[in-house]
Amino acid sequence: MDEPQPNSPRRRLQELLAIPERQRTEAEWDELNELEIMLAPGNREGAPEQGVRRNATAPAGHPKPSGGPHGKNPRKKFHRRPGKGNAP
C-alpha cells in the first residue's frame, strides 16, 4: 500500500539539489550527475544531433544572402595615419 510513487527525473533532480552539498552521499552525487547529463539540452529526445550541418536556407526556403566575397564579415580596409615624425 505504501509503494513509493515514481518521480519524474526533473522532480528527482530538484530533490537532490535541495540537499546541501556537504550532506549528499556518494550515491546521491552519482544519481545527480546522471540526471544532469540525461536532462542536458543536447541529450533530450528530439534535440538536433551534434555535428550535423543543416541546409543553409532561410525559414521560407529562400537561400541566405552571401553578403559578398567573404561571407558575413568582409574584411575592412584600414588606412594608415601619417606618423608624427619629427615635428618641432
Over residues 67-81, mean pLDDT? 64
The pLDDT assigned to 1 comes to 47
Task: Round to whole Å and give the CA distance between 75 and 57.
Answer: 24
- Residue 21 in this model has a pLDDT that exceeds 60: yes
Bridge partners of 57? Answer: 63
pLDDT of residue 33: 93
CA 8 vs CA 5, 11, 39, 51, 58: distances in Å = 10, 5, 11, 30, 37
Higher local confidence (pLDDT), 20 or 2: 20
Q: Quick check: 86 pLDDT over 90? A: no
**For residues 58 and 33, which has the higher predicted lDDT (pLDDT)?**
33
Q: What is the pTM of this model?
A: 0.45
